[in-house]
């Protein structure tokens, strides 16, 4: 059996199901995956409903129906929690897992579609969900933008600055059908919604000395180039709207600036995925900004609002998401300021801070990522926060930079190992990971993470602490 056979098998299983319960994750990838599969099932005439969970843990399993005769389809989760499905007494024939996380086999053999065993390491759950849906109903090619949003949201295009493998196939399929525009453009977040100088000042990959982190300097840098940055009414154009010649002049000046400071220019330009059917200046025009909208919905406990947007709602759901995004950004700014004001504690290979219960645990990871660009980027950052609903449990979020990942840092391994040894559980990616740990184990967890990182720097092999 190969990956295409797994995809085809899953589509057949879904077709044969009388009713489907989708259980998905609340992040951009999970929401996109859910919206793709839900719509495909609707088109195929298979009754379905969706449940979103923050993570698949024993408490969340209470929401998963038992013995109701429906096929339970786990999206963006499940592979690593098959023992929980077993404990929940789900039979192999009533479960289908579409995931991209590392598998933890249990006694029961659950059906899954997961690219990892086939070497497809950069295919997110929304990608898997799309491939299965496309098999179910070829008209689902219109859902290819959502698959791209999920993949980009899970940073599948981050390392290479482009989608690769089956995710690239999906991208090209959507492009041929006119649903996706692919451009090589500035590797910077916000090119569809932010004025050029703001966009550049917020970027940190690559970090451009004298521009990154400083909108005033970024603006004067651009003004010195003599490029027109405002439209006829005097309003700032967003990066996307600046004519090609202006962009070209800016990019070559940015490259010079990097060279002048002895920096690498290879990450200045990357692939950008745009959705031409969306309105100008809408965040939904751009895969990475669309993913932010969905993440904001999930983090503020409104994944269904995100799902409605994925299903085409540009009215009520979209307005609600816009409010959430504004609120989301405001809280993140506060968190960032709090971190910078209080300062972090530096250990040999790690810097950390405890933010208490001041901020929701769902956003501290984002704050960590943003703070890192203003702190020592050579040391991963760890933020601890208290869970509002359970004061005995703490959330730990870790972030590092692409450069440190290239040097052997693997935060996924750090949190999995350090949390297991301290009575918690964690997961994530090499560049970003998180864990839930007992409050009383916080200090031991931090020092254990520091020791594992020290070994990763020295020798990226197995560790013991
Ligand atoms: Mn995912």
Give the model confidence (pLDDT) of 390-399 as tens digits: 888 899 999 9
Cα 393 to averaged position of ligand 1 atoms, centre (Å): 24
Mean pLDDT, residues 422-427: 90
Cα 99 to averaged position of ligand 1 atoms, centre (Å): 7
Cα 125 to averaged position of ligand 1 atoms, centre (Å): 5
- Model confidence at 170: pLDDT above 80: yes
296 and 356 housed in the same domain: no
255 and 194 housed in the same domain: yes
Cα 234 to averaged position of ligand 1 atoms, centre (Å): 41
In a domain, 25, yes or no: yes
Range in 169-173, 211-215, 238-242 the model is least confident about:
211-215
144 and 23 housed in the same domain: yes
The predicted structure's pLDDT at residue 428: 82
Only one residue has tokens 């929980």, namely: 84
Cα 263 to averaged position of ligand 1 atoms, centre (Å): 32
| Beta carbons of 296 and 208 less than 8 angstroms apart | no
| Beta carbons of 276 and 192 less than 8 angstroms apart | no
- The enclosing domain of 112 has a CATH number of 3.90.1640.30
Q: Return the structure tokens found at 119.
A: 């070497």
Cα 149 to averaged position of ligand 1 atoms, centre (Å): 11
Cα 29 to averaged position of ligand 1 atoms, centre (Å): 5
236 and 262 housed in the same domain: yes
Cα 254 to averaged position of ligand 1 atoms, centre (Å): 33
| Beta carbons of 441 and 333 less than 8 angstroms apart | no
Strands 351-354, 345-346: pairing is: antiparallel
pTM, rounded to two decimals: 0.85
The secondary structure element, H or E, covering residue 11 is helix 3-16
391 and 293 housed in the same domain: no
271 and 375 housed in the same domain: no
Cα 101 to averaged position of ligand 1 atoms, centre (Å): 8
Mean pLDDT, residues 374-381: 91
Q: What is the pLDDT of residues 110-147, one digit of tens each?
A: 999 999 999 999 999 999 999 999 999 999 999 999 99
| Domain end (from 120, 147, 176) | 176
Cα 151 to averaged position of ligand 1 atoms, centre (Å): 8
In a domain, 38, yes or no: yes
Cα 322 to averaged position of ligand 1 atoms, centre (Å): 23
In a domain, 331, yes or no: no
Cα 23 to averaged position of ligand 1 atoms, centre (Å): 13
Cα 126 to averaged position of ligand 1 atoms, centre (Å): 7
- What is the distance between the alpha carbons of residues 439 and 445, in angstroms, rounded to a whole number? 10
161 and 193 housed in the same domain: no
| Domain end (from 149, 176, 203) | 176
Q: Return the structure tokens found at 442.
A: 């916080």
> How many domains does the chain fold into?
3
168 and 204 housed in the same domain: no
Cα 208 to averaged position of ligand 1 atoms, centre (Å): 30
In 3D space, the residue among 315, 330, 252, 329 whose CA is nearest the CA of residue 284 turns out to be 315
37 is in which domain, residue-wise?
Answer: 3-176
Only one residue has tokens 């923050």, namely: 54
* H helices present in 300-398, as ranges: 303-310, 316-342, 364-372
- The enclosing domain of 422 has a CATH number of 3.10.310.40
Provide, rounded to the nearest whole percent, the portion of the chain with pLDDT above 70.
98
- Model confidence at 459: pLDDT above 90: no
Cα 428 to averaged position of ligand 1 atoms, centre (Å): 9
8 and 156 housed in the same domain: yes
30 and 139 housed in the same domain: yes
Q: What is the pLDDT of residues 82-95, one digit of tens each?
A: 999 999 999 999 99
In a domain, 315, yes or no: no
- Model confidence at 9: pLDDT above 80: yes
In 3D space, the residue among 36, 74, 71 whose CA is nearest the CA of residue 52 turns out to be 74
In a domain, 326, yes or no: no
In a domain, 333, yes or no: no
| Beta carbons of 333 and 326 less than 8 angstroms apart | no
Cα 152 to averaged position of ligand 1 atoms, centre (Å): 10
In 3D space, the residue among 31, 110, 35, 105 whose CA is nearest the CA of residue 72 turns out to be 110
Cα 301 to averaged position of ligand 1 atoms, centre (Å): 17
In a domain, 147, yes or no: yes
Cα 154 to averaged position of ligand 1 atoms, centre (Å): 6
Structure-model confidence comparison of residues 115 and 66, the more confident one: 115
Cα 100 to averaged position of ligand 1 atoms, centre (Å): 7
| Domain end (from 156, 176, 196) | 176
In a domain, 328, yes or no: no
Cα 124 to averaged position of ligand 1 atoms, centre (Å): 5
The predicted structure's pLDDT at residue 460: 52
Cα 148 to averaged position of ligand 1 atoms, centre (Å): 12
250 and 229 housed in the same domain: yes
207 and 230 housed in the same domain: yes
């Amino acid at each position: 059996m190969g990956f295409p056979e797994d995809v085809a098998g899953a589509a057949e299983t879904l077709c044969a199901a009388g009713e489907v319960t989708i259980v998905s994750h609340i992040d951009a990838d999970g929401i996109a995956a859910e919206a793709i599969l839900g719509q495909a099932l609707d088109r195929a005439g298979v009754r379905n409903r969706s449940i979103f969970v923050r993570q698949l843990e024993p408490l969340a399993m209470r929401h998963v129906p038992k013995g109701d005769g429906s096929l339970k389809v786990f999206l963006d989760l499940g592979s690593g929690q098959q023992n929980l499905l077993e404990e929940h007494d789900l039979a192999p024939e009533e479960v289908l897992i579409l995931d991209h996380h590392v598998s933890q086999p249990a006694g029961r053999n659950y059906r899954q579609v997961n690219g990892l065993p086939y070497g497809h390491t950069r295919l997110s759950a929304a990608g898997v969900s799309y491939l299965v849906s496309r098999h179910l109903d070829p008209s689902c090619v219109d859902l290819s933008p959502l698959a791209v949003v999920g993949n980009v949201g899970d940073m599948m295009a981050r390392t290479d600055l482009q989608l690769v493998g089956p995710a690239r196939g999906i991208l090209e399929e959507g492009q041929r059908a006119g649903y996706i525009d692919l451009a090589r453009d500035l590797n910077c977040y916000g090119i569809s919604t932010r004025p050029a100088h703001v966009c550049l000042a917020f970027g940190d990959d690559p970090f451009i000395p004298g521009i990154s982190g400083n909108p005033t300097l970024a603006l004067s840098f651009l003004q010195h180039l003599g490029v027109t940055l405002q439209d006829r009414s005097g309003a700032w154009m967003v990066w996307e709207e600046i004519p090609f010649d202006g962009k070209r002049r800016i990019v070559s000046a940015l490259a010079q600036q990097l060279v002048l400071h002895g920096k690498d220019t290879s990450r200045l330009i990357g692939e950008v995925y745009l959705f031409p059917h969306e309105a100008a200046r809408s965040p939904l025009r751009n895969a990475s900004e669309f993913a932010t909208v969905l993440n904001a919905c999930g983090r503020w406990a409104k994944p269904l609002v995100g799902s409605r947007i994925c299903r085409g709602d540009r009215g009520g759901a979209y307005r609600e998401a816009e409010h959430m995004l504004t609120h989301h950004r405001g809280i993140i700014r506060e968190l960032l300021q709090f971190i910078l004001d209080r300062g972090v504690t530096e250990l040999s290979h790690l810097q950390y801070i405890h933010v208490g219960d001041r901020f929701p645990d769902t956003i501290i990871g984002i704050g960590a990522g943003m703070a890192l660009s203003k702190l020592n980027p050579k040391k991963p950052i760890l933020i601890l926060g208290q869970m509002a609903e359970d004061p005995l449990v703490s959330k730990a979020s870790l972030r590092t930079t692409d450069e440190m990942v290239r040097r052997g840092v693997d935060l996924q391994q750090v949190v999995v190992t350090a949390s297991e040894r301290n009575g918690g559980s964690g997961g994530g990616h090499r560049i970003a990971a998180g864990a839930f740990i007992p409050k009383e184990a916080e200090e031991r967890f931090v020092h254990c993470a520091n020791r594992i990182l020290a070994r990763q720097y020295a020798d990226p092999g197995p560790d013991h602490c």
